[in-house]
Structure 1
Amino acid sequence: MAVNKEALEIWEHEFGNKEYAYDFTGKKIKRSDYNVKNQVGWVVTYLKPLELGGKPDLGNVIIMHHRTFEERGNQYPTVVIDNQVYNIIHDEKGDFYYIERELGDEEEDGVLF
């Protein structure tokens, strides 16, 4: 399956020319497996779902493994995936969203993307 041009541009913005990368939950993804449901398939989606008032712009997009996407559903702003809690935060000044993983007792910094 050919990789969608817009999806590939987002990949290159996030990961450069890397063939493999990891989504925010640590699942491995492969550049050429856009929209493929396999061990390394990925999708482009919105951090704040459009159905909940999110905007369709680059400040709201993220690449996720297809299993992360399915488990996430429309959870917002708190997301639980693989028993780990993440919070989606909007930076109003820069008008973009990012994800913070809730910290365990021994961790110091939960900012991921």
Structure 2
Amino acid sequence: MKNRTVAILIAVTFIACHCSLLFAEEWYVAYQAGIDAVNQKNWGVAEAKLKTALSTGPKSGKKVKFYGLKFDQYVPHYYLGVVYANTNRNQEAQNEFQQVDPTTLFPPQLANL
């Protein structure tokens, strides 16, 4: 009986771990949702999504592989800085903008720094 209980606990733990991985949001989905939220001025959602992208995504860059053959600009610190600037958290905005490599930005974004 004891062995069966242990086996069931191990199986449940294994399934729970794998389910969380299956339903975890991909970094590039969170990043795009964050940019969409920035464009809609939905600062709370934007901050949460961009932080998710930062914690799980690759290093920032001008041409980062998102998935398959899709390569795009990935600058989460820039957009998080925009969120902080628009929510009057100027020091946090400055900290984020300082982490942005200017060579990864396009001219319209550079004008906003």
**What's the TM-score bracket when you normalise by the shorter of the two chains?**
under 0.3
Give TM-score, length-normalised by structure 1. 0.23
Larger Rg: 2
Using the size of structure 2 for normalisation, the TM-score is: 0.23
Q: Which has the higher strand share?
A: 1
Q: Which is richer in helix?
A: 2
